[in-house]
Amino acid sequence: MKFYIKTFFIVSLVSLVGIATLSAYASTQVRTTEVQIAESNVAISSYQNYPFTLYIGDDLSGVSSPALKSLHFTVSGVYTGGGTLGLSIDSDNGTAKQYTLPNVSVPTPFEIDYQDTTNKINPLSGGSYNYILNFNPTGITIYGLGIKMNETHKYTPPICADGQPANQKLKTTENIITDSDVAISSYQNYPFTLYIGDDLSGVSSPALKSLHFTVSGVYEGGGTLGLSIDSDNGTAKQYTLPNVSVPTPFEIDYQDTTNKINPLSGGSYNYNLNFNPTSITVYGLGVKMTETHKYKPVTCGGLPILGDLISSVFSATGTTNGAAYNSILWKGNLGVGDTGKVRFQFAASSSPDGPWNFYGGSTCSSSDWFDTTGPDSPVELKETGCSPAPGWNNKQYYRYKVEICSNDCIVAGSSTPVVDDIIVNWAP
């Protein structure tokens, strides 16, 4: 005669692992992004206006003011002469600063970090904010101008790791394209790959907010540095580097304003950066690519993939003779659409203290499971054909592990299986 033990409880996927969907983050987090504001391949010695957009794709509600922790502009290039460089935002005198650049007899690299201490830029919520950076060189000429905006803001983290925000999110990545430990004075091709690992579907175009190449090193001579992408003349720019009598550091921010690189979906995109020095020699070359893109975060706030529970210790026969374990089944339902899944592992021992080694499936391994087709469908606790065998039979005590999945136990789904009873069938 066969006997069984019936263990009664009610458990669902939500009760098992719903807690896993709750945020484990602090009350606010911080994110940094970088966007190129301007670059020029011609000499600049007069007033310029450079429109730019600050985009915040995060939830700023509930964040202690100010949400913007830091915003500054990095202005770089090579200058000649001596005078001042004036910077302001939206022609607001309160934001204006004059940076003195001492007179130089040879072209000299420079870098200025400009910050508006009046906090004219102070977003209170996510969205796009448009401004103009006013650029006013006096008594100086600038070659290879590049301007980048770096901002860091606090935000309210979402329920799960990446989002489901009201707005599209923004991410900045940086990759090195090439470096060289030899002098370069002739045309070169540098293959590179832009990889987007995010979902760009439904993102307002263009998804790519900024992409530029920072080219740096030391040069000597005087001439031009030509840069283009995939030998496309539309992307080509010639940067003049004034003649120098001693090796001189330089940095150029190259941006293709034709947007040849304009991914519409995630994936790998392969290109060539064409590098053509004329009448100059470059030492210690380094080229890095910085890109900032909007993306659609993964759907969050839904169900986790799975959750599991290990039972208490049960005594089958009440004697040390142990039992032969036949099958296991469960009662309940698979949830909406019957697309969920419930599966088991089993362990038996001669002692209530174990050891407890949970095995399942046709391989009798710790990574395999006894799959069920649904409620009220027993699954055989099979040992034959396993090597080594789990050794469940003739053991008095047993436990099981139940795993409840919202789909197929591999990807998340929408079902919430509910297990009311688990029944283990055994014989003395």
Q: 24-157: same fold as 3-20+303-427?
A: yes
**DSSP assignment, residue 303?**
-
Cβ-in-10-Å burial (0-12, 13-18, 19+) of 292 comes to buried
- 24-157 sits in which CATH class? mainly beta
Burial status of residue 309 (CB atoms within 10 A of its CB: 0-12, 13-18, 19 or more):
middle
pLDDT tens-digit map of 341-390: 899 999 989 898 889 888 888 777 777 889 988 899 999 887 766 666 67
Top CATH class of 3-20+303-427 equals mainly beta
pLDDT, one tens digit per residue, over 283-304 is: 999 999 999 998 877 655 556 7
Dihedral angle over CA of 132, 133, 138, 139, nearest 10: -130
Among 251, 263, 256, CA closest to 212: 256
Q: Which CATH class, in words, describes the domain spanning 170-302?
A: mainly beta
Q: Residue 8 has what pLDDT?
A: 45
Q: What parts of the chain have a pLDDT lower than 70?
A: 1-28, 157-167, 298-303, 318, 384-389
Angle at 41 between CA 39 and CA 45, to 5 degrees: 85
Domain ranges of the chain: 3-20+303-427, 24-157, 170-302
Q: At CA 32, angle to CA 26 and CA 33, rounded to 5?
A: 145
Sign of CA dihedral 257, 258, 261, 266: positive
Residue 335: its pLDDT value, please?
Answer: 77
Asked if residue 112 lies in contact with residue 46, where contact means CB atoms within 8 angstroms, the answer is no
Report which DSSP code applies to 298: P
Inter-residue contact 398 to 346 (CB < 8 Å) = yes
pLDDT of residue 9: 46
Candidates 280, 294, 275, 292; CA nearest to 240 is: 280
Closest alpha carbon to 381 in 423, 421, 346, 331: 346
Give me the pLDDT at residue 6, please: 47
Confidence at residue 408, expressed as pLDDT on a 0 to 100 scale: 82
**Burial of 350: CB neighbours in 10 Å, binned 0-12, 13-18, 19+:** middle
**Residues constituting the chain:** 428
Q: Tell me if 390 sits within 8 A of 403, measured CB to CB.
A: no
